[in-house]
Structure 1
Amino acid sequence: MQISQGSSPKIAIKRMLIVNVVIPYLIYRLLESHVSSVAALSIAAAVPLLETIYGFIKTRKLDAFSLFIFSSLILGVLATLMTGDERFILLKESYAIGIMGLALLVSLLFPKPLLYVFAKRTLNDPQMTYKYETNPAVRATFRKLTLVWAVVLLFEVSVKICLVFLLTTDRMLVIAPIASIIIIGIGVLWTFRYVKSRKNPVQ
């Protein structure tokens, strides 16, 4: 989802919960008695996507991960329509997140892990390559960050896969997004503390 730079953390979290949990759940419960369960779930699952589209119209910026999530939703809907299994829609974000987690893990086999590549593009620091190649602390930091986030993302996917087999659809719509927010939130908090403890080694 898109979060404006002026949003406080509390407002951002409330907005995330409303868009990803409250509204999809209410839409599903309102529609489930009027249309097929698959149709109700597809409409409910599209709410976060519509919020992303709104953010794109407002800012004229759409990152690659948002496009990845959009593709995952479409694949989930198509797979559900072909198989009749709602779990494909319930796991719509998991396709992209799982692939990203695996990509991060595989990138550790190469000299420059993915998080270094992302940071280089984001920070636009012409000296970053030199710092990475000459400073062992910088290399160790990016490799550890890449490993941790690979584990975080793959763990998040594993939890959602377990939940989709254990919970009903309406409970999954509520519990799964909250579980994702908690897991990713812990990863973000750890990242901030770790980078701070390293005294910003990329500088």
Structure 2
Amino acid sequence: MNLKAKKKVIQTIVLSLVINGAIPVVVYNFLVDHYSSFVSLLIATLIPLGDNLFHVVKYRKADAFGLFMLTGFVLSLLAFVLGGNERLILLRESMVTGLLGLIFIASLFFAKPLIYHFAIRFSSNDETEKKGQFEKNWEVPYFRFVLRIMTAIWGIALLGEAIVKVILIYELSISVFLAVSQLIFYGVIGAAILFTIVYRKYAKTRLDLINNQ
């Protein structure tokens, strides 16, 4: 990754933290003096939803994160209909994250784990060529082991993030939780991405040695 690409990634992360973290906190603290805590929180959570829907419309496709936020919004509405309080609304993100983590872990028991399909989708513009290479590598036991390790790490990371946030929801005030929740989310995701990059580089070197034997 060159300097320009790294700069763009950093800018994207910072902007996302501001939109999904800082702005909702400011909006919540402003509205809570005029409306109930429940209504204020519900309005504040519409901001990250709107941001992700904008990207879905702009790029004319639904990505995983957009669907993640949309599912969270639906759970928020269900919480409202069922008479949930503001902490139940906050729980909906952890519920979705935890569910995604469980899906990653459950995919380990299928023929090919989720990371296999994600890698084909996002690693190359030429999906047909990449799929052919992945199918060839899938015959190598070490390659299958690597993808299952990556899938397990992502599943554990997402499930662990959800558990930590569920605990903090009831330990922190709503304002403080809104401020730190996105830092926790991006911290966990960042760590998982870093692991994936480093482990992928190591695994590729070893896989090349195996294929060349």
| TM-score under structure 2 length normalisation | 0.84
User: Which segment is superposed worse, 89-98 or 155-164?
Assistant: 89-98
CA separation of 1:81 and 1:170: change in aligned 2, threshold 3 A: farther
Distance 1:96 1:7, change over 3 A: farther
1:50 partner amino acid: G
Counterpart residue number, 1:23: 23
Q: Which residue of 2 aligns with 1:59?
A: 59
Matched, 1:199 2:204: yes
- The residue that corresponds to 2:131 in the other structure is 126
CA RMSD across the alignment = 2.1
Q: Which has more helix, going by share of residues?
A: 2
Q: Which residue of 1 is the match for residue 41 of structure 2?
A: 41
Cα separation, partners in 2 of 1:59 and 1:110, compared to 1, 3 Å: closer
Please say if residues 72 and 92 of structure 1, whose CA atoms lie closer than 8 Å, have aligned partners that are also in contact: yes
Q: Look up the SS of the partner of 2:82 in the other structure.
A: helix
1:25 offset after TM fit, Å?
0.3
Residues 80, 87 of structure 1: 8 Å contact kept:
no
Moved more, 153-162 or 109-118: 109-118
Aligned partner of 1:171 in structure 2 is: 176
Q: Measure how far apart 1:181 and its partner are.
A: 1.2
Residue aligning to 1:98: 98
CA distance in 2, matches of 1:187, 1:161: 20
Residue aligned with 2:109, SS: coil
State the distance in 2 between where 1:13 and 1:68 align. Answer: 17
Larger Rg: 2
Report matched runs for 1:112-123 at 5 Å. Answer: 112-122=112-122, 123=124
> Can you list the C-alpha shifts for 1:136-169, whole angstroms capped at 9, x where unaligned?
1210110000011111001100110010010111
Give distance in 1, aligned partners of 2:34 and 2:188. 34
Report the Cα offset of residue 28 of structure 1: 0.3
Among candidates 125, 150, 155, match of residue 155 of structure 2: 150
1:152–1:184 contact (8 Å) kept in structure 2: yes
- Report the identity percentage: 34
Distance 1:64 1:13, change over 3 A: closer
Displacement of 1:17: 1.5
Q: CA deviation at 1:7?
A: 6.2
| Pairs aligned (count) | 198
Aligned-partner residue type, residue 70 of structure 2: F
Q: Could you tell me how far 1:117 is from its partner in structure 2?
A: 2.3
The 1:101–1:53 alpha-carbon spacing in structure 2 relative to 1, beyond 3 Å, is same
The amino acid across from 2:181 in the alignment is A
**For the residues of structure 2 that align with 1:105 and 1:84, how far apart are their CA atoms?**
29
Contact 2:53 2:66 (C-alpha < 8 Å) held by counterparts:
no
Q: Does 1:13 align with 2:19?
A: no
Partner of 1:70: 70
Gaps of 5+ in 2: none
Structure 1 length normalisation: TM-score?
Answer: 0.88
Q: Offset at 1:197?
A: 1.2
Q: 1:165-202: CA deviations, max 9, x gaps?
A: 10111111101111111111111111111111112759
